[in-house]
Amino acid sequence: MRKNGQQHLNIFQLVQVDVDQFFGIEIEKFPTQIAQVALWLTDHQMNMQVSEEFGQYFRRLPLIHSARIVCGNALRMDWNDVVSAEQVDFILGNPPFVGKKEQSASQKADMSLIFSKVNSAEVLDYVTAWYLKAVQYLRGNDKAAGLLDGLFGKTEGPGDRVKIAFVSTNSITQGEQVGVLWSELLRLGVKIHFAHRTFSWSNEARGNAAVHCVIIGFGLHDTTRKTIFEYESPNGEPHAIAAANINPYLVNAADILVGKRNKPICDVPEMGYGSKPADGGNLILTEDEKTELLTADPDAAIYLRAYVGAAVLDARAAHPESSLADLYDPIAMPPDLRRAHQALDRAVDAAYGKKTFTSDAGRVAFLFDLYHRYTSLLPASETKKKGRRKQ
């Protein structure tokens, strides 16, 4: 309060965030130094913004505080040696993306260390190790915590408040990786709070190719407000969609994992080879052959079906100069291939009694609901009894 009665706002007391509240791990020395300097620069930028907002010059000079960035292998270190989990509020990161085939011997050893109790972990991307490592960091010693809770009642631990978010390759939300990674994370109590579905990311480094990424925010506690950020195209802008639940495939559906099966989930004939074209081409007609057949025998029309899937294969074959990345990229793929995919989508949608979906996420959510309805009616799988070991 000034002598004239006017209130005085002291922004030095108002600003509560400083660089010494940030901790990190970098595997190489130079990036470790860069990270520390970058945080000082970011702090200065924020201070200038505060100065502009409140009309008072705010700066922190000389530089007294600094972030603690440790040089080392994050998967081999106890993160509590950097900062105790009891002091943490947020864990953020952009871990390295390395597919199973590209991992070095030392990286495979890191994966074996983190996923020592998880079956089939050899299919996982290197980035997934940070997910399990973060969960292990927050859970700490579960037995000791359970004992203390039993003696003194339930107390809040890091898992009850800490929020985590990682930028990752989108492959960890697709295919065989989902069942391996997320069965373990869900077992440990992980709940997804928000997710950015697939988007294209690249930086200004020379020779750095764009990759398709996701951002997953999660924790060991649930939240009532869940948001999916959807992209109309990988290079587009995100728009937020409220979700009741976000499952490991990043859609608004129950936490269902699609595993391997050798039996159908409903009363349909078993599939042998799918739509494998093993007829030597004798049952595939061109438009001219179709016209000729129907001219000679109009009643044969009931035996003819559109060979929809082949259009996609034919369109791919027409572009031998394109890479697989181009042929699978919704933006980069040739127009005729995109049209073939759209026709195939419409045919599949029609098979499920749907005319159209507004997005791929909507289509996947619908299929998960359908899958859940069918699989919930199946009898529980019997657990094989272990025989006695021979002495």
User: Counting beta carbons within 10 angstroms of the beta carbon of residue 327, is it exposed (0 to 12), middle (13 to 18) or buried (19 or more)?
Assistant: middle
Helix-, strand-, coil-residue percentages of the chain, each rounded to 5: 40, 15, 45
Tell me the per-residue pLDDT of 92-148, one tens digit each, with 9 for 90 and over: 999 999 999 999 999 999 999 999 999 999 999 999 999 999 999 999 865 445 444
Under the phi-then-psi rule, with left for phi > 0, alpha for psi from -120 to 50, and beta for the rest, what region is 334?
Answer: beta
pLDDT at residue number 1: 45
Tell me the per-residue pLDDT of 4-40, one tens digit each, with 9 for 90 and over: 555 566 777 788 888 999 999 999 999 999 999 999 9
Domain around 119: 84-260
- Choice between 243 and 315, residue whose per-residue pLDDT is larger: 243
Same domain, 40 and 127: no
Query: In the predicted model, what is the mean pLDDT of residues 169-190?
Result: 94
Same domain, 204 and 342: no
Query: In the predicted model, what is the mean pLDDT of residues 270-295?
Result: 80
pLDDT at residue number 4: 52
Would residue 122 count as lying in a domain? yes
Q: How many CA atoms lie within 13 A of 210 on its CB side?
A: 12
Would residue 390 count as lying in a domain? no
Same domain, 216 and 89: yes
Would residue 338 count as lying in a domain? yes
Same domain, 88 and 188: yes
Same domain, 57 and 161: no
Give, for 240, the enclosing helix (H) or strand (E).
Answer: strand 238-243
Tell me the per-residue pLDDT of 332-370, one tens digit each, with 9 for 90 and over: 678 888 888 888 888 888 888 776 777 778 888 888 888
Query: In the predicted model, what is the mean pLDDT of residues 366-381?
Result: 75
Query: In the predicted model, what is the mean pLDDT of residues 250-265?
Result: 85
What contacts 369, CB < 8 A, 6 or more positions away? 253, 254
Same domain, 66 and 93: no
Tell me the per-residue pLDDT of 217-250, one tens digit each, with 9 for 90 and over: 999 999 999 999 999 877 889 999 999 999 999 9
pLDDT at residue number 361: 80
pLDDT at residue number 148: 47
Same domain, 134 and 22: no
Say which CATH number the domain at 216 has.
3.40.50
User: pTM, whole model, 2 decimals?
Assistant: 0.76
Instruction: Note the Cα 283 to chain centre separation in Å.
Output: 42
Same domain, 256 and 317: no
Same domain, 105 and 236: yes
Q: How confident is the model at residue 206 (pLDDT cuts 50, 70, 90)?
A: low
Same domain, 236 and 154: yes
First to last CA, the chain: 86
Same domain, 91 and 18: no
C-alpha dist (Å) from residue 178 to 131, 171, 260: 13, 8, 12
Question: How many angstroms separate the CA atoms of 145 and 160, rounded?
Answer: 13
Share above pLDDT 90 across residues of the chain, in percent, rounded to a whole number: 47
Query: In the predicted model, what is the mean pLDDT of residues 314-325?
Result: 77
Give just the sign of the alpha carbon dihedral 338, 344, 347, 352. Answer: negative
Would residue 167 count as lying in a domain? yes
- Choice between 324 and 390, residue whose per-residue pLDDT is larger: 324
What backbone phi and psi angles, to 5 degrees, belong to 218? -150, 175
Torsion of CA 193, 112, 178, 235, to 10 degrees: 70
**Three-state DSSP state, 214:** strand
Output the average pLDDT for the chain: 84
pLDDT at residue number 330: 64
Same domain, 25 and 68: yes
When divided into structural domains, the chain yields a total of 3
Lowest mean pLDDT among 45-54, 133-142, 269-278: 269-278
Count other Cβ atoms within 10 Å, centred on residue 341: 16
Would residue 270 count as lying in a domain? no
